[in-house]
Amino acid sequence: MSAPERIPSRGVTTTDPVFAELLARGELTVRGRIRDASNAALYCTVAHDGREAACVYKPVAGERPLWDFPDGTLAQREVAAYEVSRATGWDLVPPTVLREGPYGEGMCQLWIEAAPESELLALVDAQEPEPGWRAIGFAEVGEGRTALLVHADDERLRRLAVLDAVINNADRKGGHLLPTADGRLYGIDHGVTFNTENKLRTLLWGWAGEPLTGEAVDVLKGLQGALEASGPLTATLAALVTSAEVAATRARVAALLESGRHPEPSGEWPAIPWPPV
């Protein structure tokens, strides 16, 4: 018997049907646990029809209860974030499905190999960012010293900032950004999203208050249509989050289009997640 064809996690696009089929129907084999994850996250391989790929499996049974999110819903929110990303056409979230696994129902997401040399965040001893960087804010670095936290002025990050505003991401940390060797950027860990209250916490505040790009406006208009009562995205999300959360997502898209600008911190909720990485 020949070894299964190993599908690399580079150059992934959400339009590749092989990944959705592999993740949804393949046999999951647990290889280890990702120990720095806040919820149970298992590194696995998934094999089907002669193909194999690495993936992450997060069983619902391994989710820690949160005071502001209903128990047992984080896996569905991860899938919902993928579906919204897919609808934008930006391909910012790795292919993700909800399925049964060795430890019950959970989310299964394609493993992405990040390029370690890519620098998207930095701490600098300055008052203003250098060209090519955007300021996030000042951070304490010990002994009474502060440094300026900055992120790259990168169109891929800017798209992700728009997606986070739509899905109301409460936990966009630096460790959730995965740039790849082929120039793509993926965001992961979307379990705390889609809340009906404003929970946006992110490191990507560099464009706060600035006008949205024309590309972002066009994407948001597309989402607005897809989120109409009879829209295809509405039907998809309805199986993953509550009707109130779908309505809140629709309202966030409308608000972004009405303002024409990137959102700013509300002041009602910590604007930056902690720890930031």
pLDDT at 7: 62
In the chain, which residues have pLDDT < 70? Answer: 1-15, 276-277
pLDDT attached to residue 15: 60
- pLDDT tens figures, 209-223: 999 999 999 999 999
SS (H, E, C) the chain: CCCCEECCCCCCCCCCHHHHHHHHHCEEEEEEECCCCCCCCEEEEEEECCEEEEEEEEEHHHCCCECCECCCCHHHHHHHHHHHHHHHCCCCCCCEEEEEECCEEEEEEECCCCCCCCCCEEEECCCCCCCCEEEEEEEEEECCEEEEEEEECCHHHHHHHHHHHHHCCCCECHHHEEECCCCCEEECCCCCCCCCCCCCCECCCCCCCCECCHHHHHHHHHHHHHCCCCCHHHHHHHCCCCHHHHHHHHHHHHHHHHHCECCCCCCCCCCCCCCCC
Whole-prediction pTM:
0.93
Q: What is the pLDDT of residue 4?
A: 61
pLDDT in the model for residue 276: 67
Q: Identify the CA nearest to 119 among candidates 141, 152, 84.
A: 152
Cβ atoms of 75 and 108 within 8 Å: the answer is: no
pLDDT at site 2: 47
Q: What is the pLDDT of residue 208?
A: 97
Residues 119-138 have pLDDT tens digits of 899 989 999 999 999 999 88
* Per-residue model confidence (pLDDT) at position 9: 54
